[in-house]
Structure 1
Amino acid sequence: MRKQVWIAAMVMVVAISVGYAQQTADTILHNGKILTVDSQFSIAEAVAILDSQILAVGTNSDVLTLAGPDTLKIDLKGRTVTPGLINTHVHLESPREYGRDLPPQQRRQFPLNFRAVRTKDDVLKQIKDIIAAFKIEPGEWVYFSTRPRGDQAGLIFDDLNRWELDKAAPDNPIALSGGIPVVNMMLINSKAIEKLWNKYGDFIETYGRYWIDESGRPDGHLEAPAVRILLEDEEFIPPPDPQHVAPLYRKNLEERLAVGNTTISGGLHTSSVRAYQWLEARGEMPVRYGYGVMSTFGLPGADRKFEMGAGTDMIWITSMSSRAVDGAGSRMCISIERDSEAVAAAEGGDSQMMGLAAVSGWWPRGQCLMDIEYGGGTRGASIKANYFNEWYDQVARDGLRSANVHVSGNDSHSRLISLLERIDQANPGSVRGWAMDHCTLIDPEDVLRAAKLGLMWSCSPLGEGDRAPMIAAAFGDKVAHS
C-alpha cells in the first residue's frame, strides 16, 4: 500500500478561480493523487495551501503557477492526499496511558499494583500504605485505579467488598475501579456508600444498580446508573485540575492527528471538557472535538439546557451521551448462547478482564442495562424502574440528539431500537440521525429496523475483525458470519 499524506481541508475546489490567481501559496503538493471528495469524487494532481486552508486544487501546471519564491513545493511522486478524516468513535475522556506521567496527587488517582497481588490482603495493604504514605486526611475521598488480569477477577468481584475495604480505609470514603471501564463498575467502601446514599439514596433505590449480600445489604459494587453519579458529581471523587491533565490529553490528540484524524467525536465528562477548553484557550488543540455530553446521565437534577452544535469551531456539542447501554467482551448483553469454555481455551493464558470469557461467570447474559429485569451482575438488587429508557425518552422530548454510546450485544441493539421505535411513534422523526457505537453482534433484522428510523452506527471494522476468531469460538460460525 502506498504511503498516504493527510491534510485538513475545509473545502476542495477542482478549478482555480480568478480570485485565487493573484495569491501566493505557502505550500504546494504536486505530482500526486488529490482526493477532493467533491460531488464527483474528482482526483486532481496538485493542491495549494495558504494559511492552513486549501487555496486551490487542479493540474500540476495550473497549481504551480501559485508558487512564489518562498513557497514550499513537495513532489508527492504519485502518493495520495486525502482530506482530514473524521473519527466518530473515540474514548478520550481521560489521559489514558499518559496519565502515568502525572504524580497521583495531581491526577487524583492512586494506582494499585496488581502484579504484586495474590490475595485480597495484598490489595488492602496497598490501600492502607498509600493513605499513610501520602498523608491523606480523614474524610477525604480517595480513588484507586486497578489493572487486574482475567484470573484476578474473583478478587474484585467476590473477595473484596465494602466491609473488606473498611479494614484498610476506616476513615476515608474510597472507590476502586473494577478492572473494567468505570462507567460500568466501581467498588466503594462503607464511608462512600453512606455519603452516596445520603444524597442520592432514593434515586439509587429506584434505578440501581448495586450488588447486595445474602441479607440484602449493598456490598459496595456499583453499576450504572448509580456508578455514573460518582463520575459527574464532583462532591464525591474530585477531578484533576485542567492544567495538570490537559497537556496529557493533547498527547492523545496528537496521536490521532498523526494517523489523519482532524476531527474526532466521543462522549466526555464535564472535567474532560474543561481540560480540552484549557487547551483551546491556549491555541493548543491539534484536532477538532465534537463531543457527547455525559453530565446529564445518571445525575438527578443535572442541567439539561443544551443545544446541539453549541460551542466553538474547535470544541462543540454533537449529542447527549449515556456512554454505554451494556458492557464489552463477556459483558455484552446477549440473548444467544455463548460457549465461554471454548473462548477461554482460545484465549489461553491471554484471558483479560475485557475478553469474552474472564468475567462471564458474573454476567452470564452481559450487562443488560436496557432491561428492567437486570439489577446488576449475579448479585444485583432488583430495580423499580429503568433509568435508561426514561433518559432516552427525555432526550427526544427535549429535541436533542443521542450518540456516542457503546452498544455491543445483540440484545442491547434490539432493546434500544425497540425503545427508539416507541419514541418515534409518539414523536415522528425525533430519533432520526441518532447514532450508536460498534457494529458487534447485530441481528440483520435490526439493521432494517434502524434504517427505517434513520439511525446510524459508528463502526470500527478493523478492531471488530481482530475479534472475529473469539466471536466464532463464543457463538459459532453462523453468528460470526452473519
Structure 2
Amino acid sequence: MRFNKVLQRSAVVLVAIVTLTGVPVLAAVPAQLIRYADLIFVNGQVLTVDESFSIAEALAVRDGKILAVGANAEIEPLAGPETERVDLNGRTLTPGYIYNDGDNAVPGGDIYKDTMVGGWLSGRVAGDDMEVLLSSIDDVLDKAKPAEPVFVNMPKNFPNEAFEWTADDLDGIAPDNPVALFYTSSDVRVNHAMLERAFSMGLPE
C-alpha cells in the first residue's frame, strides 16, 4: 500500500514537471541512461514491405536492427549526439535482398563476390583464336586502373589452349591487375594477385 502511494506521488510530480515547465520528462533523464538510435535515415521513401506496402519518410536503427519507421518528425527525436544521420534527399530505401543464384557455392563465385569491390567487369570478350582472345583481354585490362580487380567474361568458343591457363600464365597476361577469367559460372581461372585479394578479404584458404 505504501509503495502504491509512492508511485502515485511520483506520477503527480512528473505530471507537474511537464505541466509547469513544458519540458518532456525524458529530457530530464541523464543522457547516459538513454539509448538513442545508432543510425537514422530521413527525408526518403522507405519501402516497408508491410501488409499495406506502405512508404515512410524515415527509419531508425539500433544495434543492427530496425528500431522504428515513420515520419521525419517521429524518427528525428530518436537521434542523439552520436547518432549517424543520413539524409536520403528523396531517394528510396529498400529492405535487403538475397540473390540466391547459387554462384557463391563454388570457389569462382566466392572469388567473384568477395573481391568485386570497385572492380571492373567486362562483357563477353571475343576470341575464337588465341591472338584475338589475348587482344580482347588486353583491351579490357587497358580500361582498368593499375591494381584494380578485373573480371573477364570469356567467349563461348575459346581456344582449347586457354582452358589450360594457370595462375602463372595469368600473371603474365595481367601483371598489373588482379584478374579472374569466367569460362562458366562455376569455372573461373585467376592470377595470384586475385587469389591474394580474395584471401585477404576472408575467402577460406
The two structures have a TM-score, normalised by structure 2, of 0.42
Larger radius of gyration: 2
Bigger strand fraction: 2
The two structures have a TM-score, normalised by structure 1, of 0.19
